[in-house]
Amino acid sequence: MGEQLSGLADDRALLGRTSTAERVADILRSRIAEGYFPPGTRLSEDGIGGALGVSRNTLREAFRLLTHERLLVHELNRGVFVRVLTVEDVEDIYRTRRLVECAVVRGLGDPPYALDALAGVVEQGRTAAREGDWKGVGTANIHFHRELVALAASERTDELMRGVFAELRLAFHIVDEPQRLHEPYIARNAGILQALREGDRDKAEVLLADYLEVSLERVVEVYRRRVGEDGQDGRPTV
């Protein structure tokens, strides 16, 4: 926990002059997504509040916001924990992804599309793979889909999917086989990008839908083995 809190202290400057609960929640959401606080971790009010220099009330409001987003869970007489997803949660996350991401591609309109950011994260994934950084490949993969959603130019869609992708990272942290999980999607992401470069959004949507179906099967297979259906079998002891 000491190293985790040290990282939070570095984020203190991001709060600026007004330490709002929303900004605290943004920082904690990012840290949870990056794996600094893995699923099952108990979050210390004193430690985190001290690292960020915020009041207990502000921190509790941030916890409440993240609980509403299903990233945290409050357990009576035990405290606040990073949530451990169930298999049903994982399936619902992918259901949401398919509904939103495929709709974004379907609704892109006429080409050409603004693909520089998408191409950039494809290259990030390739670079991370060459370096054997499979966690970095996973991060680039999520950034690819975040940039794909951003093509819709919709703040509401971006906000919705920001929470969905943060939840997805909770599942990835449990499925501790990063190379097996992420390596196949480097080529799949490149294929989707190429279809969009060619202006073929129908092909891109087909590739994306297949990607999501295969990814769901792979994640659920390993998740069931490691955690169980209800998210309790593999819960860390804290």
- Predicted pLDDT of residue 11: 64
CA distance 102 to 25: 29
Strand partners, 81: 42, 73
Which CATH number covers residue 48? 1.10.10.10
Per-residue pLDDT, averaged over 20-28, amounts to 90
Residue 237, domain member (yes or no)? no
Q: Are residues 101 and 42 in the same domain?
A: no
Residue 220, domain member (yes or no)? yes
- Predicted pLDDT of residue 18: 47
Residue 5, domain member (yes or no)? no
Q: Are residues 65 and 115 in the same domain?
A: no
Residue 111, domain member (yes or no)? yes
- Whether residue 19 is predicted with pLDDT greater than 70 in this model: the reply is no
Q: Are residues 68 and 123 in the same domain?
A: no
Q: How confident is the model at residue 237 (pLDDT cuts 50, 70, 90)?
A: very low
Per-residue pLDDT, averaged over 20-41, amounts to 88
Q: pLDDT by residue (tens digit) across 74-121?
A: 998 899 999 999 999 999 999 999 999 999 999 999 999 999 999 999
Greater pLDDT, 10 or 95: 95
Residue numbers of the domain that contains 60: 16-82
Q: How confident is the model at residue 175 (pLDDT cuts 50, 70, 90)?
A: confident
- Predicted pLDDT of residue 20: 82
CA distance 55 to 49: 6
CA distance 56 to 92: 33
Per-residue pLDDT, averaged over 183-202, amounts to 96
Q: Are residues 57 and 125 in the same domain?
A: no
In this prediction, what percent of the chain has a pLDDT beyond 70? 87
- Residue 116: name the closest of 158, 144, 156, 154 by CA: 144
Residue 217, domain member (yes or no)? yes
Among the ranges given (59-73, 119-133, 203-217, 221-235), the one the predictor scored with the smallest mean pLDDT: 221-235
CA distance 176 to 73: 22
Give first-to-last CA distance, the chain, whole Å.
11
- Predicted pLDDT of residue 143: 94
Which CATH number covers residue 94? 1.20.120.530
Q: How confident is the model at residue 40 (pLDDT cuts 50, 70, 90)?
A: very high
Q: How confident is the model at residue 238 (pLDDT cuts 50, 70, 90)?
A: very low
- Predicted pLDDT of residue 226: 80
Greater pLDDT, 76 or 196: 196
Q: Are residues 27 and 124 in the same domain?
A: no
Q: Which of the listed residues 82, 105, 136 is the one where a domain comes to its end?
A: 82
Residue 146, domain member (yes or no)? yes
CA distance 234 to 238: 12
Total number of domains constituting the chain: 2
Residue 204, domain member (yes or no)? yes
Q: Are residues 42 and 122 in the same domain?
A: no
Q: Which of the listed residues 30, 60, 82 is the one where a domain comes to its end?
A: 82
Mapped to the 3 state alphabet, what secondary structure does the chain carry? CHHHHHHHHHHHHHHCCCCCHHHHHHHHHHHHHCCCCCCCCEECHHHHHHHHCCCHHHHHHHHHHHHHCCCEEEECCCEEEECCCCHHHHHHHHHHHHHHHHHHHHCCCCCCCCCHHHHHHHHHHHHHHHCCCHHHHHHHHHHHHHHHHHCCCCHHHHHHHHHHHHHHHHHHHHCCCHHHHHCHHHHHHHHHHHHHHCCCHHHHHHHHHHHHHHHHHHHHHHHHHHCCCCCCCCCCCC
- Predicted pLDDT of residue 180: 86
Q: Which of the listed residues 52, 82, 112 is the one where a domain comes to its end?
A: 82
Q: Are residues 77 and 149 in the same domain?
A: no
- Predicted pLDDT of residue 236: 43
Residue 10, domain member (yes or no)? no
Q: Are residues 21 and 137 in the same domain?
A: no
Q: Are residues 156 and 206 in the same domain?
A: yes
Q: Are residues 150 and 172 in the same domain?
A: yes
Q: Are residues 130 and 204 in the same domain?
A: yes
Q: Are residues 45 and 91 in the same domain?
A: no
